[in-house]
Amino acid sequence: MRPFLAACQLQLRLSARIPDDLMVLATVPLYTVMFLWMVKYAGRLDLLGYALLAPVLIALWAMALFVSGEIVERDRAAQVLESLLVTPTAFPLVVFARITTVTVCGLGAFLEVLVVSRLVFGVTLSIRHPGVFFLTLAATTLAMAGTALIMSAIFVLQRGARIFQNSLSYPFYVLGGVLVPTAYLPSWLRPITQVVFLSWASDLLRDSLLSRPVGAVPFRVGMILGLGVGSLVLGWLLLNRLVTRARGLGTVAMA
């Protein structure tokens, strides 16, 4: 536990010096205004929950995805990656802790959405089932960090991290039903959404805003956690294997 907390503290200090890690938060007000304007212009105030939750989910995934690549890139550029790989602490644990730290910071997007929606449009997000909402949000944050660990494994051997980062952003938003429910996607695409944890998270978060009882909460939260933990384990094993290969080939610090 101590190495995990130490890695979290390290990432907090680095993010304070490198504001780029939190740059995504600067786009949250813009997304909020855009989505709320679309809903209001269409006269669909019943879709306020969709418009208010989408910027939060976008910010969480963007921060987890981009920091997963930047961690390896920056450590390699600073010539400290080799030192990290020979420490007693497992390298995947350090990376996961640092990704989790930035992802948790991304929860600040939720506060931004509340403030912007209230000041600009005079609307307030009403959470009818707060227990379900915050439990789902916590599970989603963990799943975000676990999935991003897989990306870190790829970036150990591949310097062109931004190519993967940019290509995985918007397709993930679509498959995750961030703004538009996956039920509206083509029938051949829907089975794929079932293995994307964000599709479960977005549906459950939206249901927690409704007055009617939320069904199958343990199962749905379990799916989010299961897919997140599965991604974490896969990313951990893959990162260990790729690090071992990079050491053997002498390509850890290759430009």
pLDDT digits (tens, 9 = 90+) for 182-217: 888 888 888 999 999 999 999 999 999 988 899 899
- Pairwise CA distance, residues 90 & 236, whole Å: 9
Report whether pLDDT(248) > 80: no
Nearest Cα neighbor of 199 from 226, 176, 172 is 176
Predicted confidence (pLDDT) at residue 36 exceeds the cutoff of 80: yes
What would the mean pLDDT of 33-46 be, rounded to a whole number?
Answer: 85
Q: How far apart are CA 105 and CA 122, in angstroms?
A: 26
Q: pLDDT averaged over the chain?
A: 84
User: Does residue 112 lie within any of the structural domains?
Assistant: yes
The lowest-confidence range among 158-172, 190-204, 225-239 is 158-172
Does residue 118 lie within any of the structural domains?
A: yes
Burial class (CB in 10 A: 0-12, 13-18, 19+), 62: buried
pLDDT at 183: 84
Sign of CA dihedral 35, 41, 44, 48: positive
Query: Does residue 73 form part of some domain?
Result: yes
pLDDT band at residue 255 using 50, 70 and 90 as cut-offs: very low
CA 74 to CA 54: how far, in whole Å? Answer: 29
Number of domains in the chain: 1
Over pLDDT 90: what percentage of the chain? 30
Q: What percent of the chain has pLDDT over 70?
A: 89
Question: What is the domain range of residue 107?
Answer: 2-249
161 pLDDT tier (thresholds 50, 70, 90): low
Residue 139 has a pLDDT of: 94
Within-domain flag for 254: no
Residue 233 lies in a domain: yes
C-alpha angle 157-160-164 in degrees, rounded to nearest 5: 95
Residue 188 domain flag: yes
The predicted structure's pLDDT at residue 158:
61
Q: Give the position of tokens 């094993």.
A: 237
- Tell me whether residue 218 is in a domain: yes
Task: Express each pLDDT in 101-110 by its tens digit.
Answer: 988 988 999 9
Q: Evaluate whether residue 255 is within a structural domain.
A: no
Confidence of residue 48 (pLDDT cuts 50, 70, 90): confident
pLDDT digits 0-9 by tens, 55-90? 999 998 888 887 776 777 777 777 777 677 777 778
pLDDT band at residue 242 under the 50/70/90 scheme = confident
Q: Which residues contact 59 (CB under 8 A, 6 or more apart)?
A: 24, 25, 27, 28, 31, 106, 109
